[in-house]
Amino acid sequence: MTEAIALDYGSFTGAAESAERRTASLLLIGLNHHTAPVAVRERLSVADAKQAEVTESLMRLPGVEGACVLSTCNRVEVILSGAAEADHVVAWLARHARCTRDDLEPHLYIRHRGEAISHLFRVAAGLDSMVIGEPQIAGQVKKAFGAAALDRTLQQLFDRTMHVAKKVRSETAIGAHAVSVPYAAVELAKKIFGDLAGLRVLLLGAGEAGELTAEHLAAQRVRQIFVANKTWQRAVELSQRFGGSAVPFSAFEEQLAECDIVIASTAAPHFVIDAAQARRALHARGRRALFLVDLAVPRNIDPAIAGIEGAYLYDVDDLQQVANGNMERRRCAAARAEQIVAAEVRSFGERLAIEDAVPTIVELRSRFDEIRAAELEKCLRRMGPIALEQREAIEQFAMQLTNKILHQPIVELRRSESLRGVIRRIFGLRP
């Protein structure tokens, strides 16, 4: 045991100087969609072009050693290392938002050290998002730290945050199920066709939900998207966006036989596609499957089409049911993700605690080495001439005794931040 401890001291000595400079704390202050309306969030929002300027301004606050700003549509948070005081940061945020502290403070949350670590891990894992498990936030966190002023602590925090986000994704199904109506439509299409690459899509109407569904389908590399809309110019604009083709609304039936997926989202108060049209299209397709999504209310597609062989019809209620079921699956996965985050927070917190203890351990070891060397020299002078083997035995005894005495204090120093001040006072180390 004593040999292992002696080796440990050697590693501490090499890290002591950097440990002296590392942070005494982590501080996270911000607001999000849970605590503030968009009118407040947008006042604190930081554009990409302003990231460097804002970070530099934060670095000028007293005690700040590292600074990162995470700004998305749903949250604005500053993560700081060093000895920054929350009061100074809140005042800075109020100035940045050009509002009074009284207006801003009710919306803010303040997290210190372990709570700050836990919060950031949960954010990156998608556990604090408006939609549980949404994948974009991890990339946004990565981008924020890429533009940050990173000291040793924030670099470690960033590395571990990305590790946690990846671990949650790989070990849980938190992002595996569609929880929006448009993406639920894509998920169902995959179940019918498998790979969607090479398929043709007909978009009837330019409603928001239909447009978003078409975006998801385009991301699946469908072959072509046709757009039919009452307003021709709108059809042209939307089709160009997807690299597709505009179709006169009065002639869209010709495309039913050519397209594999039909998305209807018009404002028509009646059916735009009836059962007879669907039968003709399926006959022309040689009974190849036709997937129809009715996102309109009132409905655009005759529900009787669902009974035709080869036709797969889903309306808004069907898709919402799928999305709700998937959200429940994500909530179940989130429970496991929370366990992963909690374990990672403990692990990272222990690592920081050990590093924070390094200066005290090194100084304590140095103090004992001074005492040991001085008392050993007195003892050897009093003994007079002795053999080399005897001198080495006495020196070895003194070293082992020192290691034995220091072992438990070092173990406790690693565990307890409050004990460091006590040890420093007892052994006369510098404050």
**Confidence class for position 292, pLDDT limits 50, 70, 90:** very high
Residue 217 has pLDDT above 70, yes or no: yes
pTM recorded for the entire structure: 0.60
The number of distinct structural domains making up the chain is 3
**317: Cβ–Cβ under 8 A, 6 or more apart, which residues?**
none
Average pLDDT value for residue range 174-202? 82
Question: Would you say residue 280 lies in a domain?
Answer: yes
In this prediction, residue 389 carries a pLDDT of 87
In this prediction, residue 431 carries a pLDDT of 63
In this prediction, residue 342 carries a pLDDT of 92
In this prediction, residue 91 carries a pLDDT of 96
Phi, psi (degrees; rounded to nearest 5) at 61: -70, 145
Q: Would you please indicate which residues are annotated as catalytic (active-site) residues?
A: 73
In this prediction, residue 9 carries a pLDDT of 38
With vertex at residue 325, the alpha carbon angle to CA 322 and CA 329, rounded to the nearest 5 degrees, is 135
Task: Let me know: does 35 contact 109? Beta carbons within 8 Å.
Answer: yes
Whether residues 416 and 392 share a domain: the answer is: yes
Give dist(CA 229, CA 232) in Å, integer: 6
Residue 17 has pLDDT above 60, yes or no: no
Phi, psi (degrees; rounded to nearest 5) at 30: -175, -170
CB atoms within 10 A of CB 152: 16
pLDDT-wise least confident of 114-118, 148-152, 375-379: 375-379
**Confidence class for position 176, pLDDT limits 50, 70, 90:** low
Whether residues 283 and 386 share a domain: the answer is: no
Whether residues 27 and 172 share a domain: the answer is: yes
Residue 124 has pLDDT above 70, yes or no: yes
Residue 58's SS3 state is: helix
Regarding predicted confidence, which is higher, 302 or 74?
302
Residue 119's SS3 state is: helix
**Confidence class for position 356, pLDDT limits 50, 70, 90:** low
Whether residues 51 and 158 share a domain: the answer is: yes
- Domain harbouring 251, CATH code: 3.40.50.720
CB atoms within 10 A of CB 277: 18
Query: Number of C-alpha atoms within 13 angstroms, CB side, residue 144?
Result: 30
- The position carrying tokens 């408006």 is 130
Instruction: Point out the domain boundary residue: 140, 157, 176.
Output: 176
318-328 confidence digits (pLDDT tens): 887 877 777 77
Whether residues 281 and 146 share a domain: the answer is: no
Residue 111 corresponds to which amino acid?
R
Range of the domain at 420: 354-426
Task: Let me know: does 141 contact 120? Beta carbons within 8 Å.
Answer: yes
Whether residues 150 and 244 share a domain: the answer is: no
Whether residues 104 and 128 share a domain: the answer is: yes
Residue 361 has pLDDT above 60, yes or no: yes
Phi, psi (degrees; rounded to nearest 5) at 202: -115, 120
**36: Cβ–Cβ under 8 A, 6 or more apart, which residues?**
107
Whether residues 76 and 220 share a domain: the answer is: no
- Domain harbouring 62, CATH code: 3.30.460.30
64-94 confidence digits (pLDDT tens): 999 999 998 889 999 999 989 999 999 999 9
Whether residues 51 and 147 share a domain: the answer is: yes
Whether residues 205 and 236 share a domain: the answer is: yes
In a 10 Å sphere around its CB, with 0-12 CB exposed, 13-18 middle and 19+ buried, how is residue 17 labelled? exposed
Instruction: Point out the domain boundary residue: 272, 299, 317.
Output: 317
